[in-house]
Amino acid sequence: MNDVAQPQALSTDEAGLVGRAQAGDAQAFAVLYDVHVARVYRYVFYHLGNQADAEDVSQQTFLQAWRAIGTYRRGTSPFIAWLLTIAHNAAVSLRRRTKDETRFEVEPAATHRWSDPEAQALSKYDRLAVRRAILRLKPDQQQVVLLRFLEQLDYAEIAAALGKREGNIRVIQHRALTELRRMLASEVAER
């Protein structure tokens, strides 16, 4: 009954999938979606703090990626890094357009997924306070911190994704951590 074409023995090799997607193979792109959607969602949710926006922007990210996939150069940076830069821009764009910042406070229904009590207990930093501080960083610092620590990309991958040199990424990371430390310290002092 359903005549939707099934993937033809799709290779799990990401470069191969990307190549096929670049040639217009939607099924190959759908496999890339399956592989990366959870990471994209997590990244976007970290930015936006609510399910509706995170789902919307995640979908938007993949649609934009599909349209622009011809511009992605295989071998330069991981596909996920490229996707996350699109996701970052889409999330930042939504925040910029929306005046009501309270919309991006982490929604109460999401806190059970947000907090990891065990890790939280080991850390002296409140995770929601850290998130607030990260979102107040300069855009390049914000992006580097999230790609490095949330997404665990290495310096070379981040550098390739952002079109910068590795040395630049290390400097940006250093400034970002120093700034975060300052912000979090002042938040603690204000309490």
Partner 1 sequence: MSRVSPDLLAYCCADIRAGHATVADCVAVHPEVGAELAELLALAAALTATPAIEPRAGFAERGRASLLATITGPGPSETRPWLRGQREALASLFGSLAMPRLARVAATLALVLFIMLALGGGAVYAAQAALPGDSLYALKLAGEDLRLRLSQPDLDRARLHLELADTRLSELQRLAAQNRFAAMNDLLPVYQEQLAQAERHAESVAFAGEQARQAELALLRARLRQQEQTLAKLQAGAPADVARGLALAAARAQGLPAVAEERWHVGTASAVTSGTTPATDASLDQMELALAGLASDPLLPGDSQKSLMAKIEAARQAVERGQSQVALSMLDAFRNELEAQYRAGHLAEANYQYLLSLHDQSVATVPPAAAPSEAKPGSPEKAATPAVQEKPATGEDQTPPGQAKLPPGQEKKQDNEGGKGPGHKP
Q: Which of 80, 164, 96 is nearest to 135 (CA)?
A: 96
Phi, psi of 25 (to 5 degrees): -85, 105
What is the DSSP track for 103-146? GGSPPGGGHHHH--HHHHHH-SS-HHHHHHHHHTS-HHHHHHHI
Q: Is 102 in the site for partner 1 (CB under 8 A)?
A: yes
Q: At its nearest, how many Å lie between partner 1 and the CB of residue 74?
A: 20
Q: Determine the interface stretch with partner 1 among 9-17, 44-52, 73-81, 82-90 (rule: CB under 8 A).
A: 44-52
Q: What stretch of H or E contains 15?
A: helix 14-22
Phi, psi of 23 (to 5 degrees): -85, 5
Work out which of 13, 34, 75, 189 binds partner 1, going by CB under 8 A. 34
Residues that bind partner 1 (CB under 8 A): 1-4, 26-27, 29-30, 33-34, 37-38, 41-42, 45-46, 50-56, 58-60, 62-63, 66, 97-100, 102-103, 107-110, 113-116, 119-120, 122-125, 127, 130, 134, 145, 148-150, 152, 154-155, 167, 170-171, 173-175, 177-178, 180-181, 184
